[in-house]
Structure 1
Amino acid sequence: MNKKKVFLWSLYDFANSIAMIVFFLYYSQWIVIDKGVSDFWFNMSFVGSSVLLLLTAPVAGAISDKIKVKMPGLKITTLLSSLFFLATGINASFFPEHHIVSLFLFTLATYFYLFCFVFYNALITDVAHPSKHGTVSGWGIFSNYAGQITGLLVTLPLATGAVVLWGEPGRAQPLIPAAILFLLLALPTILFFKEESVREKVSISIGGEYKKVISSFKSLIGAPGLGTFFLAYFLFNDALITASNNFPIYLEKVLSISDTVKTFLLILIMLTSAIGAIIGGWVTDRVGHKRSLIGVLLGWVITYAGMIISTNFIWFAIFSGMMGLFFGATWAVTRALVTQLTPPDALNQSFTYYTLMERFATFVGPITWGLIVTIPFRAPGTSYRLAAASMCLFVIVGLYIAKKIPEKNLAV
């Protein structure tokens, strides 16, 4: 492994996770709880970003494969993502009454944030030998969760009102600093990460690439096991992302806990996620990608069930810690599995669809969640427990399909 590249690659995961966790925790509650926008419309912002990604990412991935480099795409999407996160923060802090504008900006910020991973994930081939992809992927996810912990700790005084920088005190305060930290900490990777390959000068037709999208996708999923993985990933990741996006609201509606307790509970999840990423990557390189994935998904089913039936906060916190372990392991295992199943000349396209399956799952999941939580029940929080149960069902179906993925062995 190239230690400098491992550091720079992991640092980028650290940087983008700061913006992700701060907006995930505070923006979601600011727009839904503080400003009264419905859960449904908040979830529709993820649907919008997913649709935009579907319309653009496959062609961008194909072009990246043709020119043999990923960094140009990563630079552009990182800059745009950080700028739209910044604009979302400015809108929340200084123009809080403009809810539609806020959701529009957040949709674009999320879109470019997701777009980054089309190029970022594919860089793993520049970082380490295939036999070490699980380990390297684990370190990347470890850095991601370390960044999330850092983001929560740095912005907690802003969110609680202990420090007020501008505008109204409260949940909008951390948004602008998080966007700025994302850009500043991503700069070393953007400036100093050097790819092995050299850009090739080839003729590119955008219209022609769009015409080839369907045929290219059919060819890609024809690779043994890759199509099966994408289908399974779409289903179980739908559950993970949707539940993750709505977790702060779930804590508020079901358990009625304070923002400070939410923050420390999320820090617990981040810590166990970082540990799970390292363990998951290490185990994957030793026992195999498929067996590791099956074990992780079984763990998710148990964890979801425990969290849904928990009425005691202590038990809920225990299951939340378990959730963190499996979160970290999930991304470490699946990212390494994609590199194993994908033909070398189609890696960017494959990670395009990996990102699409990861986030286009936020099309079906948010709609399901958003509709279920609108059902009125006498018992507080019942609709949210049912929504979480529906996500557990998605994981079970994904687990069934994942069992059909062929296992491969890699030479060290």
Structure 2
Amino acid sequence: MNKIETLPGLRPGVARREVWAWAMYDFANSGYTTVVITAIFNAYFVAVIAGGAAWGTFAWTAALAVSYAAILLTAPFVGAWADTHGAKKRLLALTTAGCVLGTAGLALAGPGAIGVAIGFLVLSNYCFGTGENLIAAFLPELADDDSLGKVSGWGWSLGYLGGLTSLGACLAYIAWAEPQGHAAADYVPVTMLITALLFAVASVPTFLLLRERKTARATAPIPVWARVAGTLRQLRGSGPYRDMRRFMVCVVFYQAGIQAVIALAAIYAVEAMGFTTRETIGLIFVVNITAALGAFGFGYWQDRIGHRRAIAFTLAGWIVMILLAWAATRPPLFWLAANIAGLCLGASQSASRALVGYLAPPDRHGEFFGLWGLAVKLSSILGPLTYGAVTWLSGGDHRLAILITGSYFVVGLVILAGVDAERGHRSAQA
């Protein structure tokens, strides 16, 4: 056997550099979520583009909901088409271009330009989410069954470092721009161009080194809609994919809480804790470090203790974090809550991707990660909209909003108890 085949944790024929190239896509795309969704553009949208209006937070969450709804409706079909045509990499290139161009387009959104901001936000976020599903579908082709958590953790941890790189570059520019007398309407558009450029450059290794192992089928493939319909039938009742189905329902609930935190953390820091833009960016910067540590370290632990138990542990951590953030009135306690969120974020996202890979049939990775994407994007509608609606109806009570949103973690933990990962893996392999 050659050296490539004996690398621990990787499937035969998978080179170390190919896994690095796969993980580099996490590095590349994480700048988008960190800068646009979590740290800078979301607060800018509410405070500057919407002019601080009471409906600003709801408008932000509604725009995200539209993009997530589009992913929800298309994800399983995109994944099934990629499987039958051997086209994961081609579709990934298309969605990457869409996200990069959409992010650059956000630079055109100045004060009052609601339509421009929402249009480019929907485009970029749809392409980001679809690409996220496609890159995840390569995981079971690279890692063996006993190392899915570890390899997934490599990607997520490198991803948070990518988020730090983009955020650090933006923070450096803001630190220069503010003393020059530039306002947010001047420097935030430039940070969008920085983020788009870094995404494009950092994703190059993925397209140069990552292999498309599946080819288009020689015989006429089953229509995509029929293939997806058949899988959905098998997810019902006591079918072979019942554990996958239960886990997808679990994902909808606990990811609703996670997506609310990702989308609204900066807004909560500003509105509930009184943080400045620079303080908020500094907080997100530190949280990305703890998230990288959580993803990297937890991946190894997950393979030892089992996927379900690992996810349950992170959900308990999320519940603790929500209670601390709700109770925090001074920065030290909120910083503690934020760093617990970072550890749990890295661990739970990595663990979720690994468990989907463990439960997916070998010839349906794209389709099943499309279903995972469907569940995540449904939660991405549910969680932020719940938070936005509560703040709107309560007259801006962000503490009440985060407490109610946190209940999704409790429901997810209860549903997770019924998932049998080993039974689901046996069914998928059969």
TM-score higher than 0.5: yes
Cα distance, 1:162 vs. partner?
Answer: 4.1
The residue aligned with 2:188 is 171
Select the residue among 158, 162, 173 that pairs with 1:143: 158
SS, match of residue 356 in structure 1: helix
SS, match of residue 132 in structure 1: helix
Q: Is the 8 A contact 1:220 1:350 kept in 2?
A: no
User: Equivalents in 2 of 1:328, 1:232: separation in Å?
Assistant: 18
Select the residue among 116, 119, 123 that pairs with 1:101: 116
Q: 1:168 to 1:304 in 2, by over 3 A?
A: closer
The residue type paired with residue 189 of structure 2 is A
Q: 1:212 to 1:258 in 2, by over 3 A?
A: same
Cα distance, 1:217 vs. partner?
Answer: 2.0
Give the TM-score of the pair, scaled to structure 2: 0.88
Select the residue among 47, 55, 72 that pairs with 1:33: 47
User: How many matched pairs?
Assistant: 402
Q: Is the 8 A contact 1:158 1:171 kept in 2?
A: no
2:35 aligned with 1:22: yes
Cα distance, 1:69 vs. partner?
Answer: 4.3
Q: Is the 8 A contact 1:146 1:271 kept in 2?
A: yes
The residue aligned with 1:253 is 271
Give the TM-score of the pair, scaled to structure 1: 0.92
Cα distance, 1:136 vs. partner?
Answer: 0.3
Select the residue among 410, 414, 417 that pairs with 1:400: 414
The residue aligned with 1:367 is 385
Cα distance, 1:64 vs. partner?
Answer: 1.5
Q: Counterparts of 1:210-249 in structure 2 under 5 Å?
A: 210=225, 212-220=227-235, 222=239, 223-249=241-267
1:316-375 per-residue CA deviation (whole Å, 9 max, x = no partner) reads 101211111100100111111111112222221110011121122122222211111013
User: Equivalents in 2 of 1:70, 1:227: separation in Å?
Assistant: 23
Cα distance, 1:190 vs. partner?
Answer: 1.5
User: Equivalents in 2 of 1:213, 1:129: separation in Å?
Assistant: 26
Q: Is the 8 A contact 1:166 1:173 kept in 2?
A: no
2:356 aligned with 1:342: no
RMSD: 2.2
Q: Counterparts of 1:267-306 in structure 2 under 5 Å?
A: 267-306=285-324
User: Equivalents in 2 of 1:126, 1:55: separation in Å?
Assistant: 26
The residue aligned with 1:86 is 104
Which sections of structure 1, spanning at least 5 residues, go unmatched? none
User: Equivalents in 2 of 1:271, 1:239: separation in Å?
Assistant: 21
Which sections of structure 2, spanning at least 5 residues, go unmatched? 1-9
User: Equivalents in 2 of 1:122, 1:15: separation in Å?
Assistant: 17
SS, match of residue 225 in structure 1: helix
SS, match of residue 345 in structure 1: coil
User: Equivalents in 2 of 1:104, 1:329: separation in Å?
Assistant: 32
User: Equivalents in 2 of 1:166, 1:201: separation in Å?
Assistant: 58
The residue type paired with residue 182 of structure 1 is F
The residue aligned with 2:7 is none
User: Equivalents in 1 of 2:312, 2:195: separation in Å?
Assistant: 35
Q: Which segment is superposed worse, 39-48 or 18-27? A: 18-27
User: Equivalents in 2 of 1:29, 1:12: separation in Å?
Assistant: 26
User: Equivalents in 2 of 1:166, 1:66: separation in Å?
Assistant: 50
Q: Is the 8 A contact 1:296 1:329 kept in 2?
A: yes
2:200 aligned with 1:183: yes
SS, match of residue 173 in structure 1: helix
